Structure 1
Amino acid sequence: MNPGMDAFRARLGGFAFGGDYNPEQWDRAVWDEDVELMRRAGVNLVTLGVFAWASLEPEPGRFTFDWLDDAMDLLHRNGISVDLGTPTAAPPVWLSHEHPEVLPVMEDGEVFGFGNRMHYDPTSPVYREHAARITTALASRYRHHPALAMWHIGNEYGPTAYTTAAAAAFRDWLRRRYGDLDALNDAWYTRFWGQRYSDWEQVGPPEVPRSWSNPARRLDFHRFVSDALLECFVMERDIVRSYRADLPVVTNFMRFHRQTDSWRWAAHEDAVALDIYPDPGQAGSHVAAALNFDLMRSLRGEPWLLMEQAAGAVSQWRVNHVKRPGRMRLGSYQAVAHGADSVLFFQWRAGRGGHERFHSAMLPHSGTRSRTWREVEALGRELPRIAAVAGSGSTAEVAVLFDWNAWWGLEVTHGLPRNDFDYPAIVTAHYRPLLEAQHAVDLVSFGSDFGRYRVVVVPNAYLVDDRCTAALEAFVAAGGTLVCSFFSGVVDERNQVRQPAYPGAFRRLIGAYIDEYAPLETSVAVRFADGCVASADWWQDSLHPETATVLATYLDGDLAGRAAVVTNSLGTGRVVYVGTRLDAGALRDTILDAVAAAGVAPVVRDAPPHVEATVRGGFLFLLNHSGTDTATVPATGVDLLTGASVDGAVTLEPLGVAVIETRS
């Protein structure tokens, strides 16, 4: 139960619809038009103040709240609620001018100056003091304002600093983690290259590696940065809660954001929120979007908030493609299908200047005559038709592991057999077959309860801790199916190779040992037991089955005749281990065969791969991601978007959506 979010949904009458609103960037005369058009579009929530620190505190200690008072009052009179942001992601110039120590220093020693984005050192005591002051002033003034519906802390946390303050905070973090220098030296294996520390003052953040540097030190620094940023969030969260504790407190995560461990952060929020901008020019970008949406839902096991998306084009890519007609609607319903209880945008009105002056908005520069506006207005009218969906949950029998420690271990520590791993791409490749086969999927981490699932998929978990290994063994022994890919279970949480080596933690699970890891520069052929031949590239484990049975062998290359894919029994469960990078079709068949053998049924049957199917409560979402092909999908019930009865099947137009209240 989440009383704060239940009250939030009740206040809005279902889904939140709106976006970031920046009235401080516009003359007061524009505000009345804004609010009139918001009502016309069905906007019921806006986020205020996220970048407004300089407008709220133009000089140290001098607050100018009159304009925000007027904006809050105007919105309330027109029935629009406010998600009030603390503006601490955008410190004013007077702060860094008077206290230059609040600016981050980059890994190469260069100062990250004012005028950039995220121009603050999260470990700076001066920054934290001023952030606490503006947060306290906001919370004190607006805690009982009738427009206030939610607190929004900071924005897209991410700065990293290599300052004196960061070094001191890193040492404090290490003391808490390890206790003494002997434990730190052991964890970092400082006996290698004679890097042993004899005094805490010798320990600092890792510099730019001029040749190579200690991988455990780099790993711990990433953990520390995530925790230091979390401290900033918690500080401000506690301030606003001290003034008004019944309202939800959130911040906004980002798509595949490596800097902050979302599993650790989610427990400290009242709801998970996401900013996401799938590239409409990238084929299949909806797959990674779906993964991110499922991750957000899984972090707390409950509905989440789509905090930012684009109504059209963005401004950060080399080429910023416009969303073709229907794509914005489809993407919005995709988020809702995967558990979002809001459809929010950045931003309400397109900005005249600044870096994002060509970033799309609900109200574009071309105004109400634009296609984007017409689509936004239509979506705002349509979304209330599915209000009954808000607050409903989802269940899944399949889970995919996505853990920040596994990510950091693969990408930030270097010195691996190959150093070009892309963890999000790897996880997406394992997730795609499940999405395209219309399976419900949760994301899990090292500390998750695997016993809730029939199948767990573990992509390239190079680093795993002991609790994860024990939980996976217990899961399989109790009858679960584990699908695991190469270079997994290799090192412990200290980034030290497990002994006896290869695959270390997973040897009992996979029923085989590996004598060496062999990156590939060419492709090789692989034959499966049923006679099917596939290709593999990029990587080979030199696998030696012990209790495992061979499912596929190499036909050529240095490992010709040797095992490429094996299966192993443990207790009443089963493990499938893939020791190479299979082509997409072979990986799909391997994963889906394991899922089918485990008795897991898809959400719908006989649907093409470009149709996405999810269930929330008693509501079936069907989304056609093809821009050219119609699709007929089995379904029975009432389509809430059209009011039409569906008896046995529904036809989806290209980019079409159906939300069916099922009769079963």
Structure 2
Amino acid sequence: MNSRMNAFRSRLGGFAFGGDYNPEQWDRSVWDEDMTLMRQAGVNLVTVGVFAWASLEPAPGEFTFDWLDDVMDLLHRNDISVDLATPTMAPPAWLSQQFPDVLPVMEDGETFGFGSRLHFDPSSPAYRQAATRITTALAKRYSHHPALAMWHISNEFGPTAYNAHSSVAFRDWLRRRYGTLERLNDAWYTRFWSQVYTDWEQVNVPEVPRSWSNPARRLDFKRFVSDTLLECFIAERDIVRSYRDDIPVLTNFMRFYKNADYWRWAAEQDAAALDIYPDPGRDDSHIPAALNFDLMRSLRGEPWVLMEQAASGVSQWKVNNVKRPGRMRLGSYQAVAHGADTVMYFQWRASRGGQERFHSAMLPHSGTGARTWREVSALGNELPRIAEVAGADSTADVAVLFDWNAWWGLTETHGLPRNDFDYTQLQTDHYRPLWQAHHAVDFVSFGSDFGRYRAIVVPNAYLVDDRCARELEAFVRGGGTVICSFFSGVVDECNQVRQPAYPGAFRDLIGAYIDEYWPARDNETVNVSFADGTPAIADWWQDSIHPESATVLARYTSGPLAGRPAVIDNTLGDGRFVYIGTRLEPAALAAVLLGALADAGVRPVVPDAPAFVEATVRQTAEHRYLFLLNHSDDAPATVTTGERGVDLIGGEPVWDVVRLAPLQVAVIRVTE
């Protein structure tokens, strides 16, 4: 495990608790009250400086660090550590005034003007020079300040720019990837529609055309955007590390964020970190939240950092519902249950003005009399009871394939049999029954080690590279189980259809070929019957499957494909590959997934619990910790654990059965 993160955990003495602190937005007289209230709430870490570029460098090369000196010293005197941010996500007005081409041109040709944030072209030399200057100045001054515990590089990287600088950088990226124009033309299949390039200067970023555009070009542009943003992170990371190399350096990821391949990013920082805002207006928002938590843990195979969440409501949706009593605590423990070693918020004190003035905060506008404050401070004083869990790992026997290239291929290019795929919803549809059945779940990508698992779930992986196809085959032949959904293995990494017949990458694996894809008409459904007579409903999509070595598990019993296979099972070597050729109703999808996992020897975390109870395990070399969370607002739950131990939160002994009131949590140190 990362030694920098081990040192960070040791310094904090357990879990980090706190949030973004923006003292530059407040009079100096407020700061002393902040310190008093932070101590009352159990705050031990704050993120400082995220939005402070104009306050730190009001004119090019003129630094005003006195106020930050005072803040750092004040926090240190109050035993509060600092996650110090480089402020480069929100450039000051003077930068775009001096260099107008720093402002990003959007896909439609319009310029993204000053007045928001992320208003920069990441390929802009002027932006990179200014970012280097402020980052270097901060690193020189604060690298050895006793309050500093972590570096926070920029914030929520994300701008996509279509500027001239972007085209230059895109060409350079393509030269590194392909080497020659001949290879580029082949990869992009430019003979179609006479798009052949004869000079590198003809290649530009894919701005909006009058009609459809080259799908491989758009795919490579998504890869370029992710890599270019990563270059910005690495440049600032390397600056701060050059001054001090023993503390963590990271940036914050976002829930289901498409513009950055977090598998590549996570390898470049000391921990994965997540900003997540589940919608309190949705009763099931905790399930995609759990998916994102498991994904964050899987990116490095280590505990991760919950960098931002809301204490209550946010300000980004049409209707911003509050988190009802108990929900903030439950969601915080949910992140910890899935491997987080921090509980952080945006932000400490609610802003008086600006776009996020009604975004909830640890300290609301109404102050310490607010319900939110009482819940936040209660949690901050409760978390030390489970301090021994910090740093504990998690393991799983089943993994779900989540890859940004598969996502981009399926949703960022046109011309598919359907052009309304929602990759993250498909992921959630496959994850939900695993969560409800209390399975521990990891996520994997094209380059992951599949051999650690008994089973792998592959949701609609339209694009797979050659390595992934080979390693999935080796996994199955070696005894593993794969459950794969329709329209998978169809194209290679260049978005070209694999030959011969669908699904080219997986034809031997599924033991069948597909001659046509049948997207459903509006409101069209078909009946499906499993081999044991169990009926099901399917919609949205049908594969026309022709078995070669596969066994049929279910057939269509209505519609033009009646009598043809809907679900097949193929034995290969010592393992099996289950292929689902349609969109099954949720109960039928769950039956296929869970049946295959049971056959593969994958067992749930707890043998008996209601579906609305979440169960996870974290473990160290000495102890195993069972987390149980009741997500029901009104139903108590009885969970048979088969375990004995002590609930660290309440201190009570546990004997086989745990009873949870609505919205309650148990963290059980298991007695072996």
TM-score, normalised via structure 2 length = 0.98
Q: Within 2, Cα distance between the matches of 1:47 and 1:116?
A: 20
Rounded to whole Å, the distance in 2 between the matches of 1:225 and 1:283 is 34
8 Å CA contact retained: 2:91, 2:117: no
Matched, 1:592 2:598: no
The residue type paired with residue 587 of structure 2 is G
**Mapped contact 2:530–2:553 kept (Cα < 8 A):** yes
Report the identity percentage. Answer: 75
Letter in 2 for 1:621: F
Measure how far apart 1:112 and its partner are: 0.4
Partner residue in 1 for 2:549? 547
Partner of 1:492: 492
Distance 2:197 2:113 in 1: 33
**Aligned equivalents of 1:508 and 1:291: distance in 2?**
30
Which of 571, 574, 577 pairs up with 1:575? 577
- The alignment partner of 1:373 has SS state of helix
Pick the aligned partner of 2:652 from 638, 644, 652. Answer: 644
Alignment partners' CA distance in 1, 2:656 and 2:146: 47
Q: Deviations over 1:17-72 (max 9, x none)?
A: 00000000000000000110000000000000011000000001100000000000
- How far off its partner does 1:628 sit? 1.1
- Partner SS state of residue 171, structure 1: helix
Q: Residue by residue, what CA displacement relative to the aligned partner does 1:479-519 show, whole Å, maximum 9, x if unpaired?
A: 00000000000000000000102001000100010000000
The alpha carbon displacement at 1:272 in A equals 0.7
Deviation track 1:203-258 (CA, whole Å, cap 9, x = no partner) reads 00001132100000000000000000000000000000000110100000000000
After TM superposition, list the pairs within 5 Å mapping 1:124-523 onto structure 2.
Answer: 124-521=124-521, 522-523=524-525
Partner of 2:638: 632
CA displacement at 1:572 relative to structure 2 = 0.4
Give unpaired runs (5+ residues) of structure 2: none
Q: String of CA shifts for 1:309-329, please: whole Å, max 9, x gaps.
A: 000000001110100100000
Report deviation, 1:116.
1.9
Question: Shift in Å at residue 99 of structure 1?
Answer: 0.5
Q: What is the alpha-carbon distance in structure 1 between the residues aligned to residue 3 and residue 230 of structure 2?
A: 23
Write the deviation string for residues 530-557 of structure 1: whole angstroms up to 9, x where unpaired.
1110100000000001000000001100
Q: Secondary structure at the match of 1:567?
A: strand
Q: CA deviation at 1:368?
A: 0.3
Q: Structure 2 CA distance, aligned partners of 1:449 and 1:8?
A: 28
After superposition, give the CA deviation of every residue in 1:141-175 in whole Å (9 maximum; x if it has no partner). 00110000000001000001100100000000000
Cα deviation, residue 648, structure 1: 1.4
Give the AA of the match of 1:624: N
Deviates more, 1:401-410 or 1:110-119: 110-119
1:32-181 alignment to 2 at 5 Å?
A: 32-181=32-181
Corresponding residue number in structure 2 for 1:619: 625
Counterparts of 1:407 and 1:282 in 2: how far apart (Å)?
Answer: 24
Deviation, structure 1 residue 634: 1.8
| TM-score of the superposed pair, with normalisation by structure 1 | 1.00
d(CA) in 2 for partners of 1:54, 1:282: 38
* Partners of 2:24 and 2:52 within 8 A in 1: yes
Distance in 1 between residues matched to 2:238 and 2:446, nearest whole Å: 28
Task: Return the offset for 1:73.
Answer: 0.3
Deviation at 1:283, TM superposition (A): 2.2
> What code does the residue aligned with 1:383 have?
L
Q: Which letter maps to 1:552?
A: A
- Is 1:536 aligned to residue 542 of structure 2? no
CA distance in 2, matches of 1:501, 1:51: 53
User: Aligned pair 1:18/2:45, yes or no?
Assistant: no
Deviations 1:83-120 (A, max 9, x none): 00000001000000111011100011111000022101
Q: Secondary structure at the match of 1:613?
A: strand
* Structure-1 residue corresponding to 2:31: 31
SS in 2 for 1:505: coil
Report SS of the residue matched to 1:169: helix
Aligned equivalents of 2:205, 2:143: Cα separation in 1:
39
Task: Say which of 560, 563, 576 aligns to 2:562.
Answer: 560
- The answer (yes or no) to whether the contact 2:83–2:148 under 8 Å persists in 1 is yes
Q: 1:352-392 CA deviation, whole Å, 9 max, x = no partner? A: 00110000000000100000000001001100000000001
Q: Distance in 1 between matches of 2:567 and 2:459?
A: 14
Deviation at 1:414, TM superposition (A): 1.0
Secondary structure class of the residue paired with 2:122: coil
Q: Residue 504 of structure 1 aligns to a residue in which SS?
A: coil
* Inter-partner Cα distance in structure 2 for 1:280 and 1:594: 34
1:278, 1:128 → 2: CA distance? 33
1:257-287 Cα deviation digits (max 9, x unpaired): 0000000001000111000000010121111
Cα distance, 1:606 vs structure 2? 1.3
With 613-622 and 204-213 compared, the bigger mean Cα shift is at 204-213
Cα distance between partner residues in 2 of 1:89 and 1:485: 39
SS of alignment partner, residue 576 of structure 1: strand
Retained in 1: the 8 A contact 2:104–2:163?
A: yes
Give the letter for the 2:635 counterpart. D
Q: Distance in 2 between matches of 1:550 and 1:117?
A: 54
Q: What is the distance in 2 between the residues matched to 1:417 and 1:502?
A: 13
Q: Amino acid of the residue matched to residue 625 of structure 1? A: H
| CA distance in 1 between partners of 2:510 and 2:553 (Å) | 12
Q: Which letter maps to 1:543?
A: I
| SS in structure 2 at match of 1:495 | coil
Aligned-residue offset at 1:335: 0.2
Give CA deviations for 1:590-638 in whole Å, capped at 9, x if unaligned: 0000000001110001111100000000100001111111101123210
C-alpha distance in 2, partners of 1:64/1:117?
21
**In structure 2, what is the Cα distance between the partners aligned to 1:209 and 1:316?**
30
Q: Paired residue for 1:654, among 649, 654, 662? A: 662
Query: After the TM superposition, which parts of structure 1 deviate over 2 Å for at least 4 consecutive aligned residues?
Result: none
Q: Which whole-Å CA distance do the structure 1 matches of 2:562 and 2:317 have between them?
A: 43
